[in-house]
A and B are shown apart, each in its own frame.
Chain A
Amino acid sequence: DVVMTQSPLSLPVTLGQPASISCRSSQSLVYSDGNTYLIWFQQRPGQSPRRLIYKVSNRDSGVPDRFSGSGSGTDFTLKISRVEAEDVGVYYCMQGTHWPRTFGQGTKVEIK
């Protein structure tokens, strides 16, 4: 199975400051069609997961532009340019290239 490793697992951030979460996969996530199926989800307390970013860097409709995704191959990053109070929650990366689909452990973002 592809192991997805996120860091850090806990991220205290000051409001208005940037935040960055790393996600590394144990194998390349480039699929045979040339796409890289790396997704970022946000899960606010008590809520279902919400997709933020798909195929590494494509932001979903309604997602603030302070969120951005980047990376390639096995190394990916989610950045929040200026953290706001509503960004508190757990962030997961997930790979959709290989079976079984696998998630990172989750990164808990909290306000300092």
Chain B
Amino acid sequence: EAGVTQFPSHSVIEKGQTVTLRCDPISGHDNLYWYRRVMGKEIKFLLHFVKESKQDESGMPNNRFLAERTGGTYSTLKVQPAELEDSGVYFCASSPAGGRGGYTFGSGTRLTVV
């Protein structure tokens, strides 16, 4: 089965611009998660979708971040406007409904804001 796919793998944008990251979970996985690791710090939870609904968005840093999962398939994470401190690696993960044992992570999108 195909894994979790994220693109772009790298993105370099200027401060104030908008960037949209995309995540394609494993087909059939109801749960989709976004995490990020910024500035060499720890990996932090951003939010969790169950199908198209936001189950937990307690980790979203501020209203410059908008996540969507239309139709319960792929998800997008938009940063608008991007700030320097948003630079880091954004990870997406998915898991099946009711599944135990953690998730499958994508390879991440490295975002650099200059």
- Answer yes or no: do A and B interact: no
